[in-house]
Chains A and B, each alone.
Chain A
Amino acid sequence: MSDSKHNAQPELPGKAQTNPARRAFIAAAGVGVAGLGFTAIAPGLHLMAVGEANAATGIATRKPGEAASRAVRWGLLVDINKCAPGCTKCVEACHTENGVTEKLADPRQASQWIRKVELTDRRNGKKTELPMMCQHCANPPCVDVCPTGASMKRADGIVLVDRHSCIGCRYCMMACPYKARSLVHLPLTEQNPLVPRGQGCVESCTLCVHRIDRGQQPACVEQCPEGAMTFGDLNDPSSEISKRIAATHTTQVRSDLRLDVGVRYQGI
Chain B
Amino acid sequence: MFLSIAALSAPTFAGDGSRTPKPVIEIDTPGKCIAPADEMRRNHMEMLKHQRNLTMREGVRGEPASLNECISCHASKKTGSVHQEGEFCQSCHAYAAVKLDCFECHQPRANFKTSASKPGIKP
Contact = CB atoms under 8 A, between A and B. Distances in A.
20 contacts: A62-B59, A68-B58, A99-B114, A101-B114, A101-B116, A101-B119, A103-B120, A104-B120, A104-B122, A105-B122, A111-B119, A155-B58, A163-B105, A187-B104, A191-B105, A191-B106, A191-B107, A191-B112, A193-B109, A196-B106
Given A65-B60, A102-B119, A155-B59, A193 B105 contact: no
A213 interface: yes
A107 interface: yes
Interface stretch (B19-27, B35-43, B61-69): B61-69
Interface of A: 62-68, 92, 95-97, 99-105, 107, 110-111, 152, 154-156, 160, 162-164, 187-188, 190-194, 196-201, 209, 213-214
B62 A64 contact: yes
B59 A197 contact: no
A190 B105 contact: no
Interface stretch (B5-13, B49-57, B89-97): B49-57
A91 to B, nearest CB: 9
Contacts, number: 95
Contact of A68 (B59, B63, B109): B59
A92 B56 contact: no
Contact of B119 (A97, A103, A191, A192): A103
B118 interface: yes
B18 interface: no
B122 to A, nearest CB: 4
Interface in B72-98: none
Contacts of A190: 114-115
Contact of A101 (B58, B63, B117): B117
Q: Which 3 A-B pairs have the closest CB atoms?
A: A64-B62, A68-B59, A198-B105
B105 A196 contact: yes
B3 interface: no
B119 A95 contact: yes
Contacts of B68: 193-194
Contacts of B53: 164
A191 B114 contact: yes
Contacts of A197: 105
B121 interface: yes
Contacts of A110: 119
A164 B107 contact: no
A152 B121 CA distance: 31
A188 B62 CA distance: 26
A199 B104 contact: yes
A67 B58 contact: yes
B121 A105 contact: yes
B52 A164 contact: yes
Nearest to B106: A196
A156 B61 contact: no
B46 to A, nearest CB: 14
B96 to A, nearest CB: 21
Nearest to A107: B121
A209 B122 CA distance: 29
B71 A67 contact: no
Nearest to A91: B118
Contacts of B117: 101
B92 to A, nearest CB: 21
